[in-house]
Amino acid sequence: MFSSSFLLSLRIRAIRKKVWFKVLDNLERGIFTLSGRVCETVSSSTLGVQLVGIVKKLIESFKSDFVRLVEEFGLGKAAVVAAQALKLGYLGSHNWGRDPVFARYWAFMKMYTPIGFST
């Protein structure tokens, strides 16, 4: 499942990005550190489930604020605009909801909209 080299490299990356102590509590840090030191590869399913949750937390914390905005707001807004364009009869808009460039456009629009205006 997880190798000790993967866990060690992820731990070093989390410490360098200064999210190791912000995202994980003492118990999660202990589980992660000890499993990297003690096991060459994790074979226990219970430990694997715990490590998957910890790794997911770390990977999510590595994302920048803009990437989170694109995933949370941009993709949803792109899907809404694509559905509206389809209702108006534009058949070429069926791919807009999954287009990452269009989602980034909406994230930029949200990010740089002055306070008091809405998109």
- Cα–Cα distance measured from residue 56 to residue 60, given in angstroms and rounded to the nearest whole number: 6
What three-state secondary structure class fits 41?
Answer: strand
Whether residue 107 contacts residue 66, with contact meaning beta carbons closer than 8 Å, is answered with yes
**Shared domain check, 57 and 11:** yes
Q: What is the pLDDT of residue 61?
A: 94
Residues 45 and 79 in one domain: no
Residue 69's pLDDT band, with cuts at 50, 70 and 90, is very high
The tens digit of pLDDT for each residue in 33-60 reads 999 999 999 999 999 999 999 999 999 9
pTM of the model: 0.73
SS3 content of the chain, % helix, strand, coil (to 5): 75, 0, 20
SS3 40: coil
Domain membership flag for residue 118? no
Mean pLDDT over 84-112 rounds to 92
pLDDT computed for residue 116 by the predictor? 84
Q: Quick one: average pLDDT of 68-80?
A: 94
Please tell me whether residue 91 adopts helix, strand or coil conformation.
helix
**Domain span at residue 13?**
4-62
Strands (DSSP E) contained in 2-71 are none
pLDDT at 119: 57
For 26, the token pair is 């003492």
100/75 same-domain check: yes
Determine, yes or no, domain membership for 93: yes
46 with 91, same domain: the answer is no
Q: Which residue reads 């792109």 in tokens? A: 78
Q: 72 and 58 in one domain?
A: no
Domain count, the chain: 2
Within a domain: residue 117? no
One domain, residues 57 and 85: no
Residues 55 and 104 in one domain: no
Report the chain's terminal Cα–Cα distance, integer Å: 44
* Same domain membership, residue 55 and residue 34: yes
pLDDT at site 47: 94
Residue 16 confidence (pLDDT) above 80: yes
Residues 78 and 58 reside in one and the same domain:
no
Contact by Cβ (8 Å): 48, 1: yes
